[in-house]
Amino acid sequence: MKKKILIVFLSLIAFIVTGCQSVVARRDQSQIVEFNNGLSRGEYILKAYKLDYPKTVEEKDLFFDNLNILMGKMIAHKKDLNIIIPYELYQDIRNIGIREVRESEKVFFKPASDLTQEEKELIDSKIKIDFPTNAGTIQQYLNKQVYYWFDYLKRSGEYDEYAYYTELDKMRIVSEVFDKRKLTSKMFYPIAKDFILEVDEKNIVEAGAEGFPIYTKDTFGKENDIKANIIILKTGGEPRIIPNKILLVEGTDVDTVKDYRFGVKVEEIKDPKSLLSKFEDEEDIKIKDMLRFKVVTPEKRDNRKASVKVDDVPRDILNIKEEGNQWRIN
């Protein structure tokens, strides 16, 4: 019995001597961030509006007309809104700026000689027209492409079923489409910092390289490849720290940035013009106020300064002697 008590006592002494020499500080659960615009420490709600991008050509044209009205008002009245747009919509706006067509239209813009079998089948499913009887395969699809653009411009009656259209003919018609759409691109870029890109697993890396914050279901294990510095997870996402990035979660207040607490609310919008009534939401934080920041790495400290202070008075030496089968401390 005495031997057991002695062993317990010795273990306790060993813990005091070795275990209390230092206490490791807890691992921080937040990053220290300095915002370039001097955003004050505190609690904020990021209210964002997610635009629903339609699928059909006619609906897209109406959508862009209304989007142009919204962006024009934002510029004229110097108003900012946090707007989430699908990556496809951003691609279409970007394409306009470089005189390209929308993503869904590229099959009708591509040189007819370069069309794949799958692309030809897609064109066949959408365009039913007549063409010269002795037209070769490439000519047939070129005529179908030309018809598509005539029809888009509401001038399908100008299509000549006996004509052998050229790629130059097609480009002249498409140039008219570019001219009609260029206003969208001109108005987007002055307020580009108000936009957030909605992405998925397939395009998250590509979209993240565009320089915009992203809105996504998950990071899909691609954190190291995503260049976007602000990531907003959809409802149900897990708050966590991603080094050198700010991660927010829809519907959840997170404090992964030291001395800040950010919440996110997202409202779905079908008609861009309906956002004109939201101009008075001035109290909400704007995403553009968070875009530029740097993560501050605390200076390395001597662990002894962060530990429990150890008394420098020399301790008595434990003299342990063995006498037969008995252990004792002198």
pTM higher than the cut 0.85: no
- Model confidence over 284-323: pLDDT tens digits? 799 999 999 999 877 654 454 444 454 554 544 444 344 4
Per-residue pLDDT band at 281 (split at 50, 70, 90): low
Contact 31, 295 (CB under 8 A): yes
From residue 200, how far is each of 78, 206, 208, 209, 222 by CA, in Å?
31, 10, 11, 14, 12
Domain ranges of the chain: 32-296
- Model confidence over 51-83: pLDDT tens digits? 999 999 999 999 999 999 999 999 999 999 999
Strand residue runs (E) in 7-54: 32-35, 42-51
The lowest-confidence range among 12-21, 186-195, 223-232 is: 12-21
- pLDDT of the residue at 7: 52
- Model confidence over 42-59: pLDDT tens digits? 999 999 999 999 999 999
What distance in Å separates the CA atoms of residue 8 and residue 47, rounded to the nearest whole number? 60
